[in-house]
């Protein structure tokens, strides 16, 4: 059943990508009429929650009509932004955005850096890294950039060693030392929290950890360091829409002192403002 879910999710994502790219230039374009509401695609936690705070507390005073559409995957928000179904999205990191544009021929650009969600290693079998047994199975996200990020987290904490300089291209084939003989199970990022019952540990994206009622700052065995971390989450638009006054208003609000305080109070270190 778990494998079926993974295949189905991947198929749906591929279908969304095909539809999105063929819809370019269609009449229904949420980004073309700057007098209407700004429609923003976001994953539910924490992105839509932050946007809801902006809409309910800050947008009216700033003269911004904000509409939020929630998505649970990492593909549809980008294809919807590319084809104009939405005016912007808020869910992804710069390395993911760069990789997505390269692989899909999209033209998406960052407008503002908003926050960091540290990637974490979680387990229901042990409460410390040293407790991982020899031959343990670790679930990792299967998209190129996030898998590399997961492996870098394990490398930084002494569980594996990667080839020097491999960076965001790292895969399990680039592991040069594996003292615990760890095995890896590659899953769609959204499925990694559910895998905790079936594996010894899982590397989980911050947003999916929060949705699964995990508290990264408390529950993770190890957590990414925020220092010089390139994986800040961005407000993204299609190239050419950067100067849309609605987008500029939202960028200013998302990087405001009010939103910074909301993030700090609401997520208690599990989400870290970038400004």
pLDDT tens by residue, 169-225: 899 999 999 999 999 999 999 999 999 999 999 999 999 999 999 999 999 999 999
Secondary structure class of 252 (helix, strand, coil): helix
The answer to whether residue 17 scores a pLDDT higher than 80 is no
pLDDT tens by residue, 62-98: 999 999 999 999 999 999 999 999 999 999 999 999 9
CATH-assigned architecture of domain 2-118+230-273: 3-Layer(aba) Sandwich (3.40)
Ordered by start, the domain boundaries in the chain are 2-118+230-273, 120-223
> Which two tokens mark 167?
């960076």
SS3 content of the chain, % helix, strand, coil (to 5): 45, 20, 35
Residues 6+ apart with CB under 8 A from 106: 21, 78, 79, 82, 100, 238
Identify the CATH homologous superfamily for domain 120-223: Periplasmic binding protein-like II (3.40.190.10)
Mean pLDDT along residues 124-151: 96
The answer to whether residue 21 scores a pLDDT higher than 60 is no
pLDDT of residue 35: 79
Q: Are domains 2-118+230-273 and 120-223 of this chain identical in fold?
A: yes
pLDDT tens by residue, 67-76: 999 999 999 9
User: What gap in Å lies between CA 162 and CA 172, rounded to an integer?
Assistant: 9
């Amino acid at each position: 059943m778990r494998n079926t879910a993974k295949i189905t999710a991947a198929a749906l994502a591929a279908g969304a990508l095909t539809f999105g790219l063929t819809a370019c230039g269609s009449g229904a374009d949420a980004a073309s009429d700057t007098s209407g509401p700004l429609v923003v695609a976001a994953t539910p936690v924490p992105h839509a929650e932050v946007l809801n705070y902006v809409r309910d507390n800050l947008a009216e005073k700033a003269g911004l009509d904000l509409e939020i559409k929630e998505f649970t995957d990492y593909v549809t928000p980008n294809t919807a932004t590319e084809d104009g179904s939405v005016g912007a999205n808020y869910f992804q990191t710069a390395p993911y955005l760069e990789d997505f544009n390269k692989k899909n021929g999209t033209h998406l650009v960052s407008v503002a850096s908003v926050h960091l969600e540290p990637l974490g290693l979680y387990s229901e079998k042990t409460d410390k890294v040293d407790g991982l047994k020899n031959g343990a199975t670790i679930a990792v996200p299967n998209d190129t950039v996030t898998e590399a990020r997961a492996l870098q987290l394990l490398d930084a904490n002494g569980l594996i060693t990667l080839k020097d300089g491999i960076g965001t291209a790292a895969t399990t084939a680039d592991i040069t030392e594996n003292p615990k003989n760890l095995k890896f199970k590659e899953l769609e990022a959204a499925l990694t929290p559910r895998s905790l019952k079936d594996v010894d540990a899982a590397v989980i994206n911050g947003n999916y950890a929060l949705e699964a009622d995990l508290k990264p700052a408390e529950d993770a065995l190890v957590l990414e360091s925020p220092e010089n971390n390139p994986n800040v989450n961005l407000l993204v638009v299609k190239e050419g829409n950067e100067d849309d006054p609605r987008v500029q208003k939202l960028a200013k609000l998302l990087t405001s002192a009010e939103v910074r305080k909301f993030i700090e109070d609401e997520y208690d270190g599990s989400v870290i403002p970038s400004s």
